[in-house]
Structure 1
């Protein structure tokens, strides 16, 4: 009966909408600007499951609901991996690309990531941010969401995350000519267990550390000297 078809389709739409909204609220992403590559691809997969099943009257509501639940569980699992495992995050989400530092283009970095960089789009975004020219930019990087973060006329570059959940971000610290072993030695000399670090942010030659027990510490880092000369403050 046509009326039965409409009722079933309406019920499936309500179920689909409810599950998706509940999932988005659960992971704390209710705005499209918060989405990463995993979220976008996951939503395409979710839409394909809904579109391929919603008019299939031979598919019971219970099985339809289970398909949707499995889809969101898979999306949640991928997001969990991207938060917990840095190598997977680099592949699935990417990492910021620094294109200007100390007022100069990092041509090697731009050439290495040229397939990801549209320099004309970068300039257009800088214009929208109030920069009249590349010469006005002291530091600029392309975020993982494609937006530009830039500052002008300052000797202090934006902060960088050196450690997250006990894992050293080697791709970040190498841009500061700092080695993993040096950082580990600095932490050891200051009696800090790296496994107890939730996040460590580098800014103005200091490492600002927040531990898992919510305590905070700061360490002076002089990247031009050896690790033996670093003292905790």
Structure 2
């Protein structure tokens, strides 16, 4: 039992390291090669955990080879458009100049329900508002609205809107982030002065955000019931 527990912890660490090496892409944005690598990694990790008589290297070696294959494939896609097209395919247009391309939808095995679901995820609720819709190689849809349906921007109105700056969380659940402080150009002493003005300590703060223009917001922790 103890051996299985130790192997589980070790495999968890190895998979975590492998995923970090493969990149930070979200699960919903995985390309085909990345999805295959992720699935195979999980399958390979199970073998040393279940089979206590199996040497660890018998599981670790294929996992290392798999990570190297995916890194090699990523490098190949970066250097060659043809190789990327072979591995990931090409984006496919499903709505062109307001017309739904039924043939393309059949090739993608995409139902009308799928079409409307992805449009809604792009904050589009009426088919007549869409000029172009493209299914990207990761399966997500990119939508371009018709010009007359696009929201009016301040630039189109000739207005100058001040940029509020980047907002970052400098304190999260009582813990100060020095990395976030560097991003907003503030120091710990500045944060402590703001907390003292509110009569709070770091541990009493649930969330403190600071923008690069100097504005900040503090949310104290609520008392536990």
Aligned to 1:130: 123
Task: For 2:98 and 2:76, locate their aligned partners in 1 and report how far apart those are by CA, in whole Å.
Answer: 36
Alignment match of 1:53 (pick from 48, 52, 75): 48
Q: Which of 33, 39, 47 pairs up with 1:38?
A: 33
Deviations, residues 47-104 of structure 1 (Å, cap 9, x unaligned) = 2222233222332233433232223222322333333332232232222111223323
Matched position secondary structure for 1:64: helix
Secondary structure (helix, strand or coil) at the match of 1:138 reads strand
Any conservation in 2 of the 1:98–1:142 contact (CA below 8 Å)? yes
- For residue 84 of structure 2, what is the aligned residue in structure 1? 89
What are the residue-to-residue correspondences of 1:1-233 with 2, within 5 Å? 6-29=1-24, 31-105=26-100, 107=101, 110-112=102-104, 114-116=106-108, 117-154=110-147
Quickly say closer, same or farther: Cα 1:55–1:129, change in 2 above 3 A.
closer
The CA distance in 2 between the partners of 1:154 and 1:38, in whole Å, is 36
Question: Which consecutive unaligned segments of at least 5 residues does structure 2 have?
Answer: 149-225
Change (3 A) 1:10 1:30: farther
The alpha-carbon distance between structure 1 residues 127 and 45, as it changes in their structure 2 partners (threshold 3 A), is: closer
Whole-Å separation in 2 of the counterparts to 1:128 and 1:69: 37
Larger C-alpha radius of gyration, 1 or 2? 2
Q: Secondary structure at the match of 1:98?
A: strand
Cα distance in 1 for residues equivalent to 2:85 and 2:40:
21
**CA separation of 1:100 and 1:113: change in aligned 2, threshold 3 A:** closer
* SS of residue in 2 equivalent to 1:62: helix
Q: TM-score, normalised by structure 1?
A: 0.54
What SS class does the counterpart of residue 29 from structure 1 fall into? Answer: coil
Distance 1:121 1:36, change over 3 A: same
- TM-score of the two chains, using structure 2 as the length reference: 0.56
How much has 1:113 moved relative to structure 2?
Answer: 5.8
| 2-structure distance, mates of 1:21, 1:93 | 24
| Cα offset, 1:121, TM superposition | 0.8
Aligned length: 147
User: How far has the Cα of 1:21 moved from its partner?
Assistant: 1.5
Distance 2:123 2:29 in 1: 24
